Amino acid sequence: MSEKLQNFFREHPKAALAFSGGTDSAYLLCAGLQAGADIRAYYVKSQFQPLFELEDARRLARELKIKLHEISLDILSVPQIKRNPPDRCYHCKLAIFQALIRQADKDGYPLVIDGTNASDLPTERPGMNALNELGVRSPLREAGITKPEVRSLSRSQNLFTWNKPAYACLATRIVSGESITEHSLRQVELSEQALADLGFCDFRIRVSGNTARLQVRAEQMDLVLKHRKSILKILTPCYSSISLDLAAR
């Protein structure tokens, strides 16, 4: 653990962590516990998170022998989010962290931290503006710890999340400006899970109306051809038009 990160937890020995089950927040949770800090992990459950993310969060909590505190949030009840404007991510982060902050404050944890790392650029993460407004701290970013370093440190701690692909929420699959529904999110989640079962990883299904566009990594283009019939069988019941994005992820 870096000295700067150790110093953060010495100065802030009690904090509520926004825990997503991803690589960054998983390592931050582990580091905080190793530093002897009182870290309470919160997972905000909404329609935007697939089931596997919650399962990963629960698994890591069990492995680290801590309790995971789950908060249910109807994210689509927020009009600015459901309408899916270009700044949806800002409104989403605001709603999620406001819910987390309210619960953490009730539980006696006034400081809230998240797993933003030093590789995360504000221009690519509009939701970071919401975190700044709410006073959420990002210890990894403050300590200058980059994503590759997080993965290396996670591996050294035997965290199963060390090589977990980055995952953007299900809402990012719906084209901006198109209203988000529970049905459209569920279709994407089930479709992506079925494709993952075929061996695809770090891929996306982008949806516009009733059209699906599959984005895969360059090294998995051959896998698309190999499983073409299976992919059509999976996606055709959900979408009238299916295409492959030749600009690999």
Tell me what pLDDT residue 124 has: 60
Tell me the CA distances in angstroms from 137 to 11, 14, 143, one per residue in order: 13, 13, 11
Instruction: Assess whether the region 3-163 and the region 181-244 belong to the same CATH fold.
Output: no
User: Is the domain 181-244 a CATH 1.20.1460 member?
Assistant: no
Tell me what pLDDT residue 2 has: 85
CA-CA-CA-CA torsion for 173, 177, 178, 179, nearest 10 degrees?
Answer: 100
CA-CA-CA-CA torsion for 218, 23, 52, 167, nearest 10 degrees?
Answer: -40
**pLDDT tens digit string along 144-169?**
999 999 999 999 999 999 999 888 89
**pLDDT tens digit string along 169-178?**
999 999 999 9
Tell me what pLDDT residue 128 has: 84
Give the separation between CA 225 and CA 209, rounded to whole angstroms.
25
Partners of 44 in the beta sheet?
Answer: 71
User: CATH assignment of 3-163?
Assistant: 3.40.50.620
Is residue 231's pLDDT more than 90?
Answer: yes
Tell me what pLDDT residue 37 has: 97
Tell me what pLDDT residue 162 has: 96
Is residue 249's pLDDT more than 80?
Answer: no
> How much is the average pLDDT of 3-11?
94
User: What's the pLDDT band for 223 if we cut at 50, 70, 90?
Assistant: very high
Percent of the chain with pLDDT over 70: 98
Instruction: Report the predicted TM-score, pTM, of the whole model to 2 decimal places.
Output: 0.91
Within 13 A of 117's CA, how many CA atoms are on the CB side?
A: 17
Tell me what pLDDT residue 123 has: 61
> How much is the average pLDDT of 129-140?
94
Q: How many CB atoms lie within 10 A of CB 56?
A: 20
Q: Where are the domains of the chain?
A: 3-163, 181-244
DSSP count for the chain of H helices, then E strands: 11, 7
**pLDDT tens digit string along 44-63?**
999 999 999 999 999 999 99
pLDDT, averaged across the chain: 94
Report which of 174, 151, 173, 181 is spatially closest to residue 163, judged by C-alpha positions. Answer: 151
> How much is the average pLDDT of 225-240?
95
**pLDDT tens digit string along 68-126?**
999 999 999 999 999 999 999 999 999 999 999 999 999 999 999 999 999 987 666 77
Q: Name the one residue in this structure whose structure tokens are 């989403």.
A: 92
Partners of 14 in the beta sheet?
Answer: 38
Pick the residue with more confidence: 118 or 128?
118
